[in-house]
Structure 1
Amino acid sequence: MNHLSLFSSGLEVADLLLTSGLLHSSWDAILDTQKQFYPFDTTTTLLPSVKCKVHNYPPNGSIIAFVSSPQSTVHHFQTQGRDLISSQELKVAFNLFDFIGTKVNPFFSIQKTAVLVFSSILDELTLLRNQIGNSSPLIITGHDLGGSIASLFTLWILDTILPSSSSKRPICITFGSPLLGDIYFQKAISERPTWNSSFFHVVSNKDLVPHLFISQTNVTSGSSTSLNIAYRPFGTYFLCSELGCACFEEPDSILELLVTSMGSNFALHQPNSLQIADYGMILEHLVCRSICRGVSLVDNSITNLQAGIVIHLKAIGVETQGNGGGLNSLTATTAERARKTLTQKNSIFDPNEKLTNRKIDLTYLEWYIKMSEDQGGYYDNYKNKQPGTREQIKSREQIIKRHRALTQYWKRMVTEVEKMPQKEGANFRLRWLYGGTNYRRMVEPLDIADYYKKGLKDYVAHGRSQHYVMLEKWLNEDKPVEGAKVRNYACSLTEDSCFWAHVEEAILSCRSMGLDMQLSREKLIMFERYVMNLIRNFAVSPEIFLPKSSFMQWWEEYNVIVGSSYESALCDFMRNHYRSYA
């Protein structure tokens, strides 16, 4: 994929937000809440307070607006409010936000003042969360520190929505909110695309608050030596200037653009003359202004993606050209980050979209199972690779193709589930466990056949793929402990997908009796018990008893070795009862 096939939709998304009325409705709710709780703005060094109010959003939705005293917030942040608090401290001191951590990013940090304020009104927020119920749509909004609390409250609600739930997720819209957490906080949220896409942060290039926790040393594409303490943005940023607005999603580009606009913001260096951005006036100005989209301002040699980025940056008042007239480094870097993000989005693994094709693949394998009865069953027909007719060869090629597609899909699925947080992963794997179990029982025997055809030994210890191990582990974890239905008929697919590996090892043990009689005998006795346990529980398919199957081959050899005088439960079953098993 190259630049010519990629386009950035930042201007279109910004226009959609403007014309949808979401931003105006959110800001109106903030103003109404501000007037009710903070009619007079005073500065204090004490911990800022945050108030919230629920507003109706027609037809049946709600807007929850969080506000604080702007001057109080800015003064507090400038003097003592820049510290982060780690997830370990959060768990011990507040027992909050542990759900944000993921297997890939288990540890993170959040802005300390936001946590303290959130904790101070926890009872009120708990009541609020219970009251809003299934309000749809639900918009959660906030200004400056109120925006930070709105973001944390939104994450708290998102954690209660199960992946398989039909409940609509809330939208969080913040205005002039400071950065909330470190790079690991940002990554933990970005690992859940549905979470990350729920956040829109409106920031004016003249607003002080969003720039409070950044400095030149925070900007980084990996050059900073203090990434573990640097603040990072998440979600979509609606950046605006007097010239226009555009939306950006790449965290590094957003951070760099915030720093670029900070460099020209004189108020940052004048703490006694703080100005709070009036987003009501900013929105009205943006709606009235026509955003220029003409490509005449762009060099014809620039690719479509770069042209879009140039227009986006011009819209928010950022210089795009260097001294030589070409693209400056900021523009080129922003375009490259956008390219990588768009490429990643195009390759995102969507299990729902691909599951239908995988069901078709399984149907082919089911057909192959039925067609294999005369060849000793599914396992042996595949393992022995008889030349056969042209149609048989073609059908085998189809099976190999389907085998490969299914394995690629389920390996990717297991990898994605393992990266999920514990709660989401548990719900997700429960939803897909039936399909994964059928796949494992149907496909792993093919892998076993390929393994022993190469003359290898001990598949379970040395040849088994980790994704099979995890699928089996999840199945065992999710089995009901009590009240499980007792099977009283033979299953169509042998429950233990490693059954044929145990059969192959038993055949090898029979043939190595002369080398180590005692060890081979112990292994064969264990195999007898293993098979008989499966038979008692109807956990093996009747196809294992087909005349040409590897299991029947093992039995014929074993019966000769032990002789007719040897007695055991399995021997009695094989000599007298196996024909009635089905």
Structure 2
Amino acid sequence: MNQFSSGLDLANLVLSSDLLHLSWDAISNLYRDNNPSDPTLILRVKYRVYSQPSKASIVVFVPSRICTALHLQDEGSDLVSSATLRENFPLFDFLSSKDNPSFSIHRAAITLFASLHDELSPLKNQLGNTTPLIITGHSLGGSVASLFTLWLLESISRKATKRPLCITFGSPLIGDEGFQQAILNRPTWNSCFLHVASNQDLIPKLFISPHNAHAPNIESTSQTNTYRPFGTFLLCSESDCTSFEEPESILELLVAMSSESMGNQNSSENLQIVDYKGFLEYLKCKAIFHRGVSEMGEWLNNPFRAGVSIQLESIGVKKSQQQQNDIIIRIEERVEKFLACKINVFDPSKKLNDRKIDMAFLEWYKKVSKDHGGYYDSYKNVMLKPRATAVLHKRILTRYWKEMVTEAERMPQREGASFRFRWLYAGTNYRRMVEPLDIAEHYKSGKKDYLTQGRSEHYMLLEQWLKDAKPEGGQNSANERTKACSQTEDSCFWAHVEEAIISCNLLNAGETSSENREMCRLALLTFEQDVMDLVKNYAASPEIFLEQSSFMKWWRQYQMIVGSSYNSSLTDYMRNHKYQHYK
């Protein structure tokens, strides 16, 4: 199937359903109770809830008066930054993330939403578990509908299988690239938005740079446009319609189809609401019948481009042959990249089961390494033939968890928090199993100071998230354990052992300065205490006491340095072989 034909298929599917008709009928009903043609009315947004037990519940938002370009500019067409919103109206802070910290929202849209906030709060709580739920709006009412949907999505569990559907008609773009990216970072959110835009309606293209239609490539388009689209756009002409999801193509096509249908008409004089009902009825009838395909000419040899050409014809874009070819080539390049990104979207839930197989192999490797100094030393000293396979499984696991941590960092704040908690157990198990192998490779290559010069950031983040997490029942403290854990809780334990060995070697050599010798002694005393803390809390793996382990190697060096007259909790524990009971 042509990769672009899905746009026509989706348009047919949506038109054949009652979703758009139900939404526009609800909008029309709310308009009938007002007089939107009166330009003296103060611009506000009104809403109503239509509860239909046998069908979807619908929340409708419409402006109190017709919104033209002139009106929107008067109300504020500029963007309000997230920094400013944080001071006055921090309701959408959840869109921020480490990877995407700032965003901006259309001033008129956020102002109108804020004016309804007190009324919408109880409605949000009431509708939180309502399914199916349609949130719809026209013009600036569509902008408020989009913001209300995002606000509702933020409170819905990530595990929820049903989410509200937001359908807007003739709505202007409402946010910048940061706002767009915050939504695209959550594909489940992006799929909740369907924006219907007619080629007779100027409002959807109002904040798009005019020369965007002639952008030679994606990069230049990004730089010349402030407002950015998200979700799926259903683009309609008087003859047909199609749908697009790739953002840059949406921008270009909104301009192209509007300019062809409206010419140089002054938007401020266009005071009529576009008859979307007429569009919908005509297009629904047409969707039932077979769509004709125009002569493709040279494009027939390239079905990828032929699909775009059909879609351009559907929405009435009839440029010169060269201009149309240029548009098709640009859209082809963009959508190829967009589809590639969607295909490569990191889905941790689908891959986690495969990673369990990798972890199982390392568990087996750990078991068979006991007779060769233990898991850490066997890997470091290449004592077993299966080490090569262990290296492969280690690399696969590391690649997966680095991607997972990066994805979690990209998530909007609250969404990211739930994501982290869900995967916290698996990530902690991975860190304690795999990081010792990274430490082994670091010191085997002759390097030092793993903690400051070798440790990957994804380990640090996994460790920090564990510290930040609150326990949910069960054991709340390591002190409640009655036997040793299979993995040492401190995944950097072997790095501390290696540094302790280095300190012992420096003291034995006697070539270092008195200041450095004192630093080595203090480091060793700290290490002693840390080891005993792990032992008392049963937080160390018994393998650290295997006779061939690096820890026992350190102990034999250390007891010779401190001498028989030195006493401490650790020396008493080791000299009296109490560790044998621990094992």
Q: Same fold (TM over 0.5)?
A: yes
Q: 1:508 to 1:52 in 2, by over 3 A?
A: same
- For the residue of structure 2 that corresponds to 1:497, the secondary structure is coil
Aligned to 1:578: 579
Aligned to 2:351: 354
Q: 1:6 to 1:282 in 2, by over 3 A?
A: closer
Aligned to 1:212: 206
Aligned to 1:284: 281
Q: Give the whole-Å Cα distance in 2 for the aligned partners of 1:102 and 1:268.
A: 42
CA deviation string 1:64-110 (max 9, x = no partner) = 11122453566522655423322233233334322233333322222
Amino acid at match of 2:298: D
Q: Give the whole-Å Cα distance in 2 for the aligned partners of 1:112 and 1:522.
A: 59
- For the residue of structure 2 that corresponds to 1:328, the secondary structure is helix
Aligned to 2:246: 250
Q: Give the whole-Å Cα distance in 2 for the aligned partners of 1:440 and 1:372.
A: 19
Q: CA deviation at 1:56?
A: 3.0
- For the residue of structure 2 that corresponds to 1:141, the secondary structure is strand
Q: Decide whether the 8 Å contact of 1:46 with 1:76 is kept in 2.
A: no
Q: Give the whole-Å Cα distance in 2 for the aligned partners of 1:327 and 1:217.
A: 15
1:111 aligns with 2:106: yes
Q: 1:321 to 1:349 in 2, by over 3 A?
A: farther
Structure 2 residue corresponding to 1:102, chosen from 97, 100, 107: 97
CA deviation string 1:256-296 (max 9, x = no partner) = 11111232314742633533211111011111224636485
Q: Decide whether the 8 Å contact of 2:41 with 2:65 is kept in 1.
A: no
Tell which deviates more after alignment, 217-226 or 485-494: 217-226
Q: CA deviation at 1:190?
A: 1.6
Q: Percent identity?
A: 52
1:172-571 aligned at under 5 Å gives the runs 172-217=166-211, 221-223=218-220, 227=224, 230-264=226-260, 265-266=262-263, 268-269=265-266, 271-289=268-286, 290=289, 292=291, 294=293, 297-300=296-299, 302-319=301-318, 322-323=321-322, 328-386=325-383, 393=385, 395-480=386-471, 484-485=476-477, 486=479, 487-513=481-507, 514-516=510-512, 517-571=517-571
Q: Give the whole-Å Cα distance in 2 for the aligned partners of 1:90 and 1:455.
A: 52
Q: Decide whether the 8 Å contact of 2:86 with 2:93 is kept in 1.
A: yes
1:50 aligns with 2:49: no
Q: Give the whole-Å Cα distance in 2 for the aligned partners of 1:440 and 1:433.
A: 10
Q: Decide whether the 8 Å contact of 2:67 with 2:140 is kept in 1.
A: no
Q: Give the whole-Å Cα distance in 2 for the aligned partners of 1:362 and 1:132.
A: 42
Q: Give the whole-Å Cα distance in 2 for the aligned partners of 1:286 and 1:301.
A: 26
Aligned to 1:389: none
The count of aligned residue pairs is: 567
Q: Decide whether the 8 Å contact of 1:205 with 1:258 is kept in 2.
A: yes
Q: Decide whether the 8 Å contact of 1:218 with 1:231 is kept in 2.
A: no
Amino acid at match of 1:126: S
CA deviation string 1:225-254 (max 9, x = no partner) = 975x72222111000112211111122211
- For the residue of structure 2 that corresponds to 1:189, the secondary structure is helix
Q: CA deviation at 1:446?
A: 0.7
Q: Decide whether the 8 Å contact of 2:318 with 2:324 is kept in 1.
A: no
Q: Give the whole-Å Cα distance in 1 for the aligned partners of 2:186 and 2:337.
A: 18
Q: 1:300 to 1:179 in 2, by over 3 A?
A: closer
Q: Give the whole-Å Cα distance in 2 for the aligned partners of 1:115 and 1:448.
A: 51
CA deviation string 1:428-458 (max 9, x = no partner) = 1111010011101101111111111111111
- For the residue of structure 1 that corresponds to 2:446, the secondary structure is coil
Q: 1:167 to 1:350 in 2, by over 3 A?
A: closer
TM-score by length of 1: 0.91
TM-score by length of 2: 0.91
Q: Give the whole-Å Cα distance in 2 for the aligned partners of 1:270 and 1:300.
A: 36
Amino acid at match of 1:336: E
Q: 1:488 to 1:18 in 2, by over 3 A?
A: same
- Any gaps of 5 or more consecutive residues in structure 1? 387-391
Q: Decide whether the 8 Å contact of 1:313 with 1:320 is kept in 2.
A: no
Q: 1:268 to 1:379 in 2, by over 3 A?
A: same
Q: Give the whole-Å Cα distance in 1 for the aligned partners of 2:523 and 2:140.
A: 68
Q: Give the whole-Å Cα distance in 2 for the aligned partners of 1:137 and 1:64.
A: 11
Q: Give the whole-Å Cα distance in 2 for the aligned partners of 1:72 and 1:375.
A: 77
Q: Decide whether the 8 Å contact of 1:144 with 1:176 is kept in 2.
A: yes
- For the residue of structure 2 that corresponds to 1:139, the secondary structure is strand
Superposed CA RMSD: 2.5
Amino acid at match of 2:392: K
- For the residue of structure 1 that corresponds to 2:466, the secondary structure is helix
Q: Give the whole-Å Cα distance in 2 for the aligned partners of 1:58 and 1:201.
A: 26
Q: Decide whether the 8 Å contact of 2:168 with 2:196 is kept in 1.
A: yes
Q: 1:276 to 1:60 in 2, by over 3 A?
A: closer
Q: CA deviation at 1:405?
A: 0.4
Aligned to 2:122: 127
Q: Decide whether the 8 Å contact of 2:80 with 2:107 is kept in 1.
A: yes
CA deviation string 1:146-180 (max 9, x = no partner) = 111111111110111232x3262111000111121
Q: 1:378 to 1:279 in 2, by over 3 A?
A: same
Q: Decide whether the 8 Å contact of 2:124 with 2:152 is kept in 1.
A: yes
Q: Decide whether the 8 Å contact of 2:68 with 2:270 is kept in 1.
A: no
Q: Decide whether the 8 Å contact of 1:208 with 1:267 is kept in 2.
A: no
Q: 1:238 to 1:481 in 2, by over 3 A?
A: closer
- For the residue of structure 2 that corresponds to 1:232, the secondary structure is coil
Amino acid at match of 1:474: W
Q: Decide whether the 8 Å contact of 1:134 with 1:167 is kept in 2.
A: no
- Any gaps of 5 or more consecutive residues in structure 2? none
Amino acid at match of 2:369: S
Q: Give the whole-Å Cα distance in 1 for the aligned partners of 2:93 and 2:277.
A: 36
Q: CA deviation at 1:118?
A: 1.6
Q: Decide whether the 8 Å contact of 2:94 with 2:154 is kept in 1.
A: yes
CA deviation string 1:297-342 (max 9, x = no partner) = 253564332221111111111136624xx95211110111111100
Aligned to 1:144: 139
Q: Give the whole-Å Cα distance in 2 for the aligned partners of 1:188 and 1:217.
A: 26
Aligned to 1:10: 7
